[in-house]
Amino acid sequence: MILKRAISVVLLSLPLLMAGNVSAQVAGKTTLGVDIANITIVANGWSVKKKILGKTVYNEENKKVGRIDDIILAPDGQASFFIVGAGGFIGIAKHDVAIPVGQIVEKDGKLTLPGATKDAIKAMPKFEYAK
């Protein structure tokens, strides 16, 4: 639940953070991105890429069951599903599944999906992005 809350706070804060970086425009000049005064805030911020994406998912027996490849947001901006990839080698024959965010918990610094096995994940319906 802490993980879901952290993701939601970060994603919902993005518009506010961007609005805070607006500066007065001067004729003939345009400021894009983050100004120097706020670059430290950005560099020290919580990163979905560093904290979640690409991280291994384990079961409660500390066995690897997959890897987080994506986060799906609901229309209200809340993180709703993790896309977990299981099996495969270098992306070949990989089986992606959607796991509700609340089912994956952080335990001892690891992302854990209690009750999961590689076989159980491979038996789940394969997730495919809408075209």
Predicted confidence (pLDDT) per residue in 59-92, tens digit: 999 999 999 999 999 999 899 999 998 876 665 6
Ranges of each domain in the chain: 2-123
> pLDDT under 70 in the chain at which residues?
1-31, 88-93
Buried b (16+ CB within 10 A) or exposed e, 95-113: bbbbbebeebbeeeeebbb
Class of domain 2-123: mainly beta
**pTM summary value:** 0.69
